[in-house]
């Protein structure tokens, strides 16, 4: 029996919108993201461009029924791949908050910490778009 393409739901549109916004920002302002590329990885600017292009490709793929399954799997993989950058961003802001000792730095740190578990619902949305959940 052939698998049907999962419908385009609000969560998938939301994930695609997030990817389009973030991917565009990666390409237009790569310097914003270079600091969160884990220190062990080389060629940070190139990695930022590649991840931005991948986000845009995943977003567009999620929106079209013919490519939604593959794009859903690619999106889940991309979210797993960029998780170390989110951890690096939290570590960077933890150091900054320690140095500055101001409420703004601590609030931003709290936001980056809260963002980490948000990867899981995004991965689930991507997998649902792929028809895997």
Per-residue pLDDT, 1: 45
Q: Is the pLDDT of residue 4 over 90?
A: no
Rounded mean pLDDT, 17-22: 97
Element (H, E) at 39: none
Per-residue pLDDT, 96: 83
> How does pLDDT run across 69-119, given as a tens digit for each residue?
999 999 999 999 999 999 999 998 888 888 877 778 888 889 999 999 999
Rounded mean pLDDT, 116-127: 96
- The residue extents of the domains of the chain are 10-82+119-129
Tell me the C-alpha distance between 121 and 133, whole Å: 12
> How does pLDDT run across 26-65, given as a tens digit for each residue?
999 999 999 999 889 999 999 999 999 999 999 999 999 9
Per-residue pLDDT, 3: 64
Tell me the C-alpha distance between 126 and 133, whole Å: 9
Q: Is the pLDDT of residue 19 over 60?
A: yes
Q: Enumerate residues 6+ apart whose C-beta is below 8 A from 74.
A: 54, 57, 58, 61
Rounded mean pLDDT, 119-124: 96
């Amino acid at each position: 029996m052939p698998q049907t393409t999962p419908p385009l739901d609000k969560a998938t549109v939301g994930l695609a919108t997030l990817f389009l916004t973030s991917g565009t920002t990666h390409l237009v302002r790569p310097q914003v993201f270079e600091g969160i590329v884990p220190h062990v990885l080389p060629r940070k600017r190139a990695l930022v461009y590649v991840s931005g292009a991948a986000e845009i490709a995943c977003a567009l793929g999620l929106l079209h029924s013919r490519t939604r399954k593959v794009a859903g799997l690619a999106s889940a993989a991309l979210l797993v791949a960029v998780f170390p950058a989110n951890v690096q961003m939290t570590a960077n802001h933890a150091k900054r908050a320690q140095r500055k000792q101001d409420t703004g730095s601590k609030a931003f740190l709290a936001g980056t910490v809260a963002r980490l578990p948000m990867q899981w619902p995004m991965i689930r949305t991507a997998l649902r778009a792929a028809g895997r959940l």
